[in-house]
Amino acid sequence: MLELFPKIEAATEAICQQWPHSAKVGIVLGTGLNGIADSLGLDVVLPFESIPHFPSSTALGHSGKLHCGSFQGLNILTMQGRTHYYEGAKLADVTLPVRVMKSLGVETLILTNASGGLNPQYAQGDIVVVEDHIDMLPDNPLRGINDDRLGTRFPDMSQPYDFELVDQALAIARNSGFIAHRGVYAAMPGPNYETRGEIRFIRKLGADVVGMSTVPEAIVAAHSGLRTLALSTVTNECKPYVATTTDGEEVVSVAASAEAKVKKIIFGVLEAESQKQ
- Return residues touching ligand HPA (CB under 6 A): 114-116, 188, 193-194, 210-212, 235-236, 238, 246, 251
Q: In angstroms, what is the minimal distance from the CB of 218 to ligand HPA?
A: 16
Nearest to 132 by CA among 222, 49, 267, 61: 222
C-beta of 212 vs 219, nearer to ligand HPA: 212
Cβ(194)–Cβ(238) below 8 Å: yes
Cβ(56)–Cβ(83) below 8 Å: yes
Q: In angstroms, what is the minimal distance from the CB of 68 to ligand HPA?
A: 28
C-beta of 8 vs 215, nearer to ligand HPA: 215
**Nearest-10 crossing angle of helices 259-276, 248-257:** 50
Q: In angstroms, what is the minimal distance from the CB of 186 to ligand HPA?
A: 9
Cβ(217)–Cβ(205) below 8 Å: no
C-beta of 255 vs 266, nearer to ligand HPA: 255
Q: In angstroms, what is the minimal distance from the CB of 229 to ligand HPA?
A: 19
Cβ(190)–Cβ(116) below 8 Å: no
Q: Which residues contact 249 (CB under 8 A, 6 or more apart)?
A: 60
Residue nearest to ligand HPA (CB): 116
C-beta of 69 vs 211, nearer to ligand HPA: 211
Q: In angstroms, what is the minimal distance from the CB of 7 to ligand HPA?
A: 28
C-beta of 181 vs 227, nearer to ligand HPA: 181
C-beta of 158 vs 245, nearer to ligand HPA: 245
Q: Which residues contact 3 (CB under 8 A, 6 or more apart)?
A: none
Q: Which residues contact 198 (CB under 8 A, 6 or more apart)?
A: 188
C-beta of 18 vs 244, nearer to ligand HPA: 244
Q: In angstroms, what is the minimal distance from the CB of 54 to ligand HPA?
A: 23
Q: What distance in Å separates the CA atoms of residue 80 and residue 34, rounded to the nearest whole number?
A: 5
Q: Cβ–Cβ contacts within 10 Å for residue 49, how many?
A: 12
> What's the chain's length in residues?
277
Q: In angstroms, what is the minimal distance from the CB of 19 to ligand HPA?
A: 31
